[in-house]
Amino acid sequence: MAYLSMGEAHRRITEYLNSFSESVFSQDAASLKLLLCFSSNSPSLLSVADSLNLFQDANRLIKQSDKYSQFGEIIVHLFRSLQNYRLGHSFDAYNAYEKAANAFIQEFRNWDSAWALEALYVVAYEIRILAERADRELASSGKPPEKLKGAGSFLMKVFGVLAGKGPKRVGALYVTCQLFKIYFKLGTVHLCRSVIRSIEAVRIFDFEEFPKRDKVTYMYYTGRLEVFNENFPAADHKLSYALTHCNPHSEANIRMILKYLIPVKLSLGILPQDWLLEKYNLVEYRNVVLALKSGDLRLLRAALDEHEDRFLRSGVYLVLEKLELQVYQRLLKKIYIIQKQKDPSKAHQIKLEVIIKALKWLEIDMDSDEVECIVVILIHKNLVKGYFAHKSKVVVLSKQDPFPKLNGKPVGS
Amino acid sequence: MNQAGNTEALLAPPGTIPRELQNFSDANSGQPTIPPSIGSEVQWNIHRVDNGSVQAGFPPNSIYNYQTHTQLHSSEGMNGSTAASSSTLAPSTVPQDYSAYSTHQNSTAYGYGTTGYTSYYSSYQQQTSHSYSQPIPAYPNTGHPYQPLSSFQNTGSYAAPANYSSTYYNPGDYQTSAGYPTTNYSSQTSSQWNEGNYVNYSSYQYSNYAATSMGAYGSASTPAAPLHYQPQHPQYYGQSNTEVTCAPGTENLSASATTKLDCPTPEVTGVTWDYSATSQPQQTSAVSWRPEVTSFQPLQQPTTMINGAQDGHWNYGASGFTNHQSSAGKPEAYQPFDTTSVYASFQEHQKSVASGTQGNNLEYHTVHQVPQTNQFPSTFKDSQSLDSRRVSKFQIQTNPRIVSNLGLGFVKTEKAGSGASTTTKPAYVSVSLPNPSDKVLSNDASHSALKSGTFPKSLRGYVERALARCKNDAELAACQAVMKEIITSATADSTLYTRDWDTEPLFPLPSVDEANKVAQHPVSVPTFRRSPTRRAKSRWEPLQMEKPQDRLAHVGVPAVKSGGWKKANKREKKSLGVDSESTGDRVDSIKLSNMEQNVAMSQRPFKRQRIADKPTMMENGNASSDSDKEQSLSSYYSTASSLANTPEERKRRENRSKRFDKGQGNRTEFYHHHKTKDAGVENLYTRRATAMVMTKKLDNRGSESVEDMDWDALTVKGTCQEIEKRYLRLTSAPDPATVRPEDVLEKALAMVQISQKNYLYKCDQLKSIRQDLTVQRIRNGLTVKVYETHARLALEYGDLSEYNQCQSQLKTLYAEGIVGCHMEFSAYSLLCVILLSNNYRDLLSLMSRLPSDAKEDEAVKHALAVRAAVTSGNYIMFFKLYKKAPNLNSYLMDLYVDKMRYKAVCCMSKSYRPNIPVSYISQVLGFSCASSAIDENEGKEKDGLEECVEWLKAHGACLVTDNNGGMQFDAKASSSSLYIPEPEDAVAHGDANLAVDDFLARVSS
């Protein structure tokens, strides 16, 4: 590299230009995307970048031929971006790349067929990756990181190009997923709504016709959104879809899906097998599951405490916290079973003080009003069938199915 | 072609205005277009009367003509509507108007005096006010146009030339505006579309026009006139051609529109003819005047779509005209109109700055001419002569249009009631509408909208004065509330317009007002120039700023009465409509103040006209009939006015005016601020200077974006030593003399902290402290303290919006590492999210961002516990926490208590059987103290119990009394009967703190 001659640099640049224009003319998206994909760090691209840094007058080359100059808007910026990318100037690289991408979008708009979708995917991906790097650079120099936001609005533009009727719509979901990634990263999740609406409300395109890869990503993110909204059945549906359609070999992805799917399933009363947690390294859920099985409130609280940061960051803390009621239910059920073994005729009456005592064993100190309140809530949420007699402080359980199972329905439904 | 270029440039500005106004028109949805029609209608009535008197013997003919015309017009109207839509100015509104119009014609055409007619009037009456307002906006720049009129009048041997000239030449207006029109125009010229519309009109009409003009001239036997005319036309023609190319598709449409316009003109001509028939020297002069005026009218009509009415006029005029011609004395009448001198002066004006306006006028004229040619030739040979006159008149009219502003001035000054002046008003109105056809329409509409909502100027002044008195926000708000009351009551008993607000008790500040008057006038000019740049930023503001100012410049100068003027200036910025009305008031402040303004505007001109006409009528021997008709007319008007004042209409107007209140409020504050600042200074010049500076600053702010500002340069070091200071929202760069330095602010904070006054006072003081900190860019412990103090006070008072402001500021301040009660406030923000927004994502991010040490803090722990209680629905826990809440946490929890209680009771009703004692509920739901405290607080316990019972009953719980006399909550029965009652203090805007009564009560306390 150090001995790159001027002639060699010239040759490489011309080669790049040639392959660019040729791939466009022959509508060869596969080779075009290689020319756009900086983050692949492919040796050929890197060598072109070195050549550009050596051979400063690439613009002249572009203008030399009509073949190149008609893509001048794209290539000029692309070259500048590539140069900066090679030099590690992420901010400048992003800015130039966005300009090139804008020009590319203009061209893309004019192409009737969707042949260049693959290349567009690369552009959308690159713009996000470059924006993230640029933001890192900005943040480290104390400036407000705003490039990812800019990438978001650029991708919205791309989405607008694709979202209409026609063959290009197939690509809309990919861009949507890139947008999701940006929005989730930025914490501006509410912006997802408009995109989702346009994907789901419009009946001009069957969702199933989108590429599987995009469908899985889409379902994963929308499922996470449903978790935020505490809409567990919907979250379950979407995340399950993602799980079943996910490539079984990409374990990282499966783990990501399970990270949300497990709490959702838990809150619907469905517990995972231990090997699953083991296999996908989700052991933080193990104690939670155990607590649910045993009615051990203390264990649940400890598990939540232990992984609080992680749960808070992933956003499932509140979901897991709500499992407390199910743990109480389990506890009551245990008491009921024990009473039944002792005296089946009086098993359906549980004295409040028994519950308090049980909680004391778990080293949870609650006064009778509080426990009464919990029981009342359990009855109210339909986790326990029966009623509470205030005067005698007794829970009177229904003789039939006193502890109904959730069976996939959320608590309180 | 130089002229052409100029005219185009000049013309463009008016177009720009309309665009902005379009917003208004849209909002009004079609109403705007109607308003102009009112003006025309009014005229129409008058005409009718005149015709009737004059034409007595010719009723059949007139009717016949009328019908045919109406039909023609209706078709034309359709075309016109389409044209308007094509032009894209206010397509939706225009068509509606047309349709309404056509129907109208049908009914009206056949039975003038019928009830249907009155209804028609009533429906349109609202609009009358609009029409008036319209002229003003369109004419702001027309200082020059005025001149042509004056010259014209003089040439025509105007009856009261002295008055006129004096008004016209009033130093104030004229001088101020002198350089002004050109600059304004040039700056504004951005709208090509205006030209396009314009062009269309001119092109079509032009061909017709040339022919007609020639013929007319020949018949008229005034050689000089034709000559003048033709030269002008070529120029126009050229313009039209070039412009036409721009919008080829619209040509046809425009043509139709022009035909409409034409209809109105005939009417005018008829009037003029009548005068000529009387053939007295004065009359001739009057005639000349009228033509001008009439020219305005035609313009209006097209916009209004009231062509039908106009047609009627036209026919009448024609018939009357023919009669008159036969009677003789026509030639005389002709000459005055055609008089080349006038024309020449006109042309000269065109060349000058005014040329732009003339261009507009000319176009209109051409339009008018076309219709004439069509209709007249067939029916009346003499009509051609009329046409020629019309042509000339029209051209003149174009000037009037410019003059329209002048017209207002005229009216004012010339209370004498010269026929010409009266006519000018209507003409004025019409003029504003016509040339834009498309654009103008939008303008008019917007203007009308503005005006409709407006209150009497005097009332505005009254309100302003009242508000100026307020020393702080609280008072201000209270004052506003009171004012609102007053105004609504006034509207209710319809004294809103009749009451003399200027003399109403509150605060007379006459001397200041007058001083301001003069000072403010100059101000308008600079702002005007800047307006274009501002427009680019927002369409909204420029409108407000510009128009009032323009109008002020024109009207204000001539206006002798300073008091109203100054007020107008102040408010000005608020809304055009108000100004226009105010100007009108000024004009006839004496007489008209008693009348409802909307109607008054329309009525005035007519009445005067009638008076002026009377002599002529008398000569004809028709005077008596005329007077009768006058009576009927006046009754008409009264009904119309009453209709215009229907509650709905009033409400609408109020709403519309309210739209501008925000801007107004700021402005007033701004001005008030200045006043107080300069309190002692009576020097007019200083005032003017400051005003100029202020406007400049304002302009700068408008044209510069916030990012462009050099904040460092604007950072001030305060010198004010006053500890107490009212909060006023800054509208300009801060003045160091009114900003307190840090040490004074510290004292101020201490003062607020120990102050015994109510929250509103403290809030005001704290806001002013915050402002001073901000403008001096002080960000340190004191800043944090101030915000913390304010946030706490706001929490205690329940002023969440203020609290949120403080909280967000504190967040950034803490993030900057400034020490404060960080934990306390993170607890508050946690509680806020938990209890108010209930947004899980926000909550999660808040929780995940809590520093680890925060969880050890008492307040944060409490907040987190509250969160747990809320999410699990654990009411026992919640109310336990409620009772031992640290800091002000309980104030935030207060906001959730009711919800929590309701949830709890629902839960209980489902889970408990059979009953629960109410005492238990009262205890666990925080109504009364825990059981352990019963002994000491027997009375309190009872109160809590009673409160609990009441609350339960209010929420539909079923209570039963048990054997021991204790109240029991019947869970099963209640489970189906619980509901959340409507909050008693609910207010439409959702913030009970802003409810007027409550607010006033608190302020007074």
Partners of A396 on chain B (C-beta within 8 Å) are 913
Q: Who among B841, B874, B906 is closest to A189 (CB)?
A: B841
Residues A248-268 have a mean pLDDT of: 93
What distance in Å separates residue A117's CA from the closest CA in chain B? 34
What distance in Å separates residue B881's CA from the closest CA in chain A? 12
| Separation in Å, CA A304 to CA A16, A268, A317, B427 | 55, 18, 8, 81
Question: What is the band of A258 on the pLDDT scale with cuts at 50, 70, 90?
Answer: very high
Partners of B845 on chain A (C-beta within 8 Å) are 187
Partners of B847 on chain A (C-beta within 8 Å) are 312, 317
| B727 dihedral zone (left: phi>0; alpha: psi -120 to 50; beta) | beta
The residue written with tokens 């209809």 in the block is B263
d(CA B17, CA B139) in angstroms, rounded, equals: 11
3-state secondary structure at position B562: helix
What distance in Å separates residue B86's CA from the closest CA in chain A? 29
Find the residue in B nearest to A310 (Cα).
Answer: B848
Answer for the pair B184, B550: CB distance below 8 angstroms, yes or no.
yes
Partners of A325 on chain B (C-beta within 8 Å) are 872
Answer for the pair B303, B443: CB distance below 8 angstroms, yes or no.
no
CA B771 centroid distance within chain: 31
- Dihedrals φ, ψ of B960, to 5°? -130, 155
Find the residue in A nearest to B914 (Cα).
Answer: A389
Q: Who among A312, A318, A387 is closest to B912 (CB)?
A: A387
Answer for the pair B809, B773: CB distance below 8 angstroms, yes or no.
no
d(CA B789, CA B742) in angstroms, rounded, equals: 16
Q: Who among B844, B911, B917 is closest to A376 (CB)?
A: B911
| Alpha helices (H) in B221-249, listed in sequence order | 224-246
d(CA A287, CA A275) in angstroms, rounded, equals: 14
The pLDDT assigned to A97 comes to 92
Stated as kind and residue range, the H or E segment containing A394 is strand A394-397
Q: Where are the domains of chain A?
A: 6-210, 328-397
| Separation in Å, CA B99 to CA B84, B120, B758 | 13, 13, 58
What distance in Å separates residue B772's CA from the closest CA in chain A? 27
The answer, for B913 touching chain A at a CB cutoff of 8 Å, is yes
Find the residue in A nearest to B875 (Cα).
Answer: A373
Structure tokens at B822: 């960080």
Tell me how far apart the terminal alpha carbons of chain B are, to the nearest angstrom: 72
Structure tokens at B494: 């319809």
Residues A262-273 have a mean pLDDT of: 92
Stated as kind and residue range, the H or E segment containing B340 is helix B340-351
- Dihedrals φ, ψ of A55, to 5°? -100, 100
Answer for the pair A304, A297: CB distance below 8 angstroms, yes or no.
no
d(CA B825, CA B543) in angstroms, rounded, equals: 44
3-state secondary structure at position B969: strand
- Identify which of A370, A374, A262 has the alpha carbon closest to the alpha carbon of residue A325: A374
d(CA B953, CA A340) in angstroms, rounded, equals: 41
Partners of B877 on chain A (C-beta within 8 Å) are 370, 373
The pLDDT assigned to B103 comes to 36
- Identify which of B69, B106, B36 has the alpha carbon closest to the alpha carbon of residue B317: B69
> DSSP string covering A200-245, please?
HT-TTS-GGGS-HHHHHHHHHHHHHHHHHTT-HHHHHHHHHHHHHH
Question: Do B907 and A377 count as a contact with CB atoms less than 8 A apart?
Answer: yes
What distance in Å separates residue A276's CA from the closest CA in chain B? 27
Question: Hey, CA dihedral for A256, A259, A265, A270, is it positive or negative?
Answer: positive
What distance in Å separates residue A405's CA from the closest CA in chain B? 18
Best residue in A260, A373, A398 for a mutation probing chain B (most B CBs within 10 Å):
A373
Answer for the pair B745, B779: CB distance below 8 angstroms, yes or no.
no
State the pTM of this model: 0.52
Question: Do B868 and A375 count as a contact with CB atoms less than 8 A apart?
Answer: no
Residue A14, pLDDT > 70, answer: yes
The answer, for B737 touching chain A at a CB cutoff of 8 Å, is no
Residue B277, pLDDT > 90, answer: no
Question: Do B924 and A369 count as a contact with CB atoms less than 8 A apart?
Answer: yes
Partners of B869 on chain A (C-beta within 8 Å) are none
| Separation in Å, CA B965 to CA B918, B933, B935, B959 | 11, 22, 20, 12
- Identify which of B532, B696, B60 has the alpha carbon closest to the alpha carbon of residue B315: B60
| DSSP strands (E only) in B389-472 | none
Answer for the pair B839, B830: CB distance below 8 angstroms, yes or no.
no
B216-257 pLDDT, tens digit each: 333 333 333 333 333 333 334 333 333 333 333 333 333 333
What distance in Å separates residue A127's CA from the closest CA in chain B? 27
The pLDDT assigned to A151 comes to 92
The answer, for B838 touching chain A at a CB cutoff of 8 Å, is no
Question: Do A374 and B874 count as a contact with CB atoms less than 8 A apart?
Answer: yes
Q: Which residues contact A313 (CB under 8 A, 6 or more apart)?
A: B848
Report the 10 Å Cβ neighbour count for B342.
29
Partners of A322 on chain B (C-beta within 8 Å) are 871-872
Report the 10 Å Cβ neighbour count for B711.
10
Find the residue in A nearest to B907 (Cα).
Answer: A380
The answer, for B845 touching chain A at a CB cutoff of 8 Å, is yes
Structure tokens at B111: 């039975």
What distance in Å separates residue B832's CA from the closest CA in chain A? 17
Residue B92, pLDDT > 80, answer: no
Answer for the pair B195, B15: CB distance below 8 angstroms, yes or no.
yes
What distance in Å separates residue A186's CA from the closest CA in chain B? 12
The residue written with tokens 């993170």 in the block is B826
> DSSP string covering B767-819, please?
HHHHHHHHHTT--SHHHHHHHHHHHHHHHHHT-HHHHHHHHHHHHHHHHTT--
d(CA A232, CA A239) in angstroms, rounded, equals: 10
The residue written with tokens 């439904």 in the block is A413
Structure tokens at B872: 């699990």
Report the 10 Å Cβ neighbour count for A206.
7
Find the residue in B nearest to A383 (Cα).
Answer: B911
In one-letter notation, the amino acid at residue B410 is: F
Residues B945-974 have a mean pLDDT of: 84
| B965 dihedral zone (left: phi>0; alpha: psi -120 to 50; beta) | left
| Residue pairs spanning A and B at CB distance below 8 A | 72
Calculate what percentage of chain B has a pLDDT beyond 70. Answer: 26
The b/e string for B330-341 (b: 16+ C-beta within 10 A; e otherwise) is bebbbbbbbbbe
Partners of B913 on chain A (C-beta within 8 Å) are 387-389, 396
d(CA A81, CA A100) in angstroms, rounded, equals: 8
Question: Do A318 and B841 count as a contact with CB atoms less than 8 A apart?
Answer: no
d(CA A196, CA A362) in angstroms, rounded, equals: 46
Q: Who among A187, A230, A324 is closest to B872 (CB)?
A: A324
Question: Do A322 and B908 count as a contact with CB atoms less than 8 A apart?
Answer: no
d(CA B652, CA B449) in angstroms, rounded, equals: 10
The answer, for B391 touching chain A at a CB cutoff of 8 Å, is no
On the question of a cis peptide bond just before residue B231, with omega within 30 degrees of 0, the verdict is no
What distance in Å separates residue A74's CA from the closest CA in chain B? 31
Question: Do A228 and B913 count as a contact with CB atoms less than 8 A apart?
Answer: no
The pLDDT assigned to A337 comes to 92
Residues A255-274 have a mean pLDDT of: 93
Residues B180-206 have a mean pLDDT of: 36
Partners of B833 on chain A (C-beta within 8 Å) are none
Tell the burial category of B64 from Cβ atoms under 10 Å away from its Cβ (0-12, 13-18, 19+).
middle
Partners of A315 on chain B (C-beta within 8 Å) are 840-841, 844
Poorest-confidence range of A20-34, A88-102, A259-273, B127-141?
B127-141
Instruction: Write the DSSP symbol of residue A113.
Output: S
Question: What is the band of A326 on the pLDDT scale with cuts at 50, 70, 90?
Answer: very high
Question: Do B873 and A377 count as a contact with CB atoms less than 8 A apart?
Answer: yes
What distance in Å separates residue A193's CA from the closest CA in chain B? 15
Answer for the pair B372, B212: CB distance below 8 angstroms, yes or no.
yes
ipTM of the complex: 0.83
Contacts made by residues B814-821, CB under 8 angstroms, sequence distance 24+: B814/B784, B816/B779, B818/B779, B818/B780, B818/B781, B818/B783, B818/B784, B819/B781, B819/B784, B820/B781, B820/B784, B820/B785, B820/B788, B821/B788
Best residue in B844, B849, B855 for a mutation probing chain A (most A CBs within 10 Å):
B844
In one-letter notation, the amino acid at residue B510 is: P
Q: Who among A228, A370, A379 is closest to B840 (CB)?
A: A228
Most confident of A53-57, A241-245, A406-410, B737-741: A241-245
CATH fold group of domain A328-397: Arc Repressor Mutant, subunit A (1.10.10)
Beta-bridged to residue B94, according to DSSP, are none
Answer for the pair B426, B295: CB distance below 8 angstroms, yes or no.
no
Residues B526-530 have a mean pLDDT of: 36
Tell the burial category of A10 from Cβ atoms under 10 Å away from its Cβ (0-12, 13-18, 19+).
middle
The answer, for B482 touching chain A at a CB cutoff of 8 Å, is no
Stated as kind and residue range, the H or E segment containing B83 is helix B59-87
Partners of B932 on chain A (C-beta within 8 Å) are none
Report the 10 Å Cβ neighbour count for B785.
18
Residue B512, pLDDT > 80, answer: no
B873-902 pLDDT, tens digit each: 899 999 999 988 888 888 888 888 888 999
Interface of A with B (CB under 8 A): 187, 189, 228-230, 309, 312-313, 315, 317-318, 321-322, 324-325, 369-370, 372-377, 379-380, 387-390, 396
Q: Which residues contact A359 (CB under 8 A, 6 or more apart)?
A: A297, A331, A365, A366, A371
Poorest-confidence range of A384-393, B456-465, B764-773?
B456-465
> DSSP string covering B124-181, please?
HHHHHHHHHHTHHHH-TTTHHHHHHHHHHHHHTT-SSHHHHHHHHH-HHHHHHHHSHH
Calculate what percentage of chain B has a pLDDT beyond 90. Answer: 3
Residue B447, pLDDT > 90, answer: no
The answer, for B843 touching chain A at a CB cutoff of 8 Å, is yes
Residues B288-309 have a mean pLDDT of: 37
B656-683 pLDDT, tens digit each: 555 554 444 444 444 444 443 343 333 4
Report the 10 Å Cβ neighbour count for B245.
12
Question: Do A380 and B915 count as a contact with CB atoms less than 8 A apart?
Answer: no
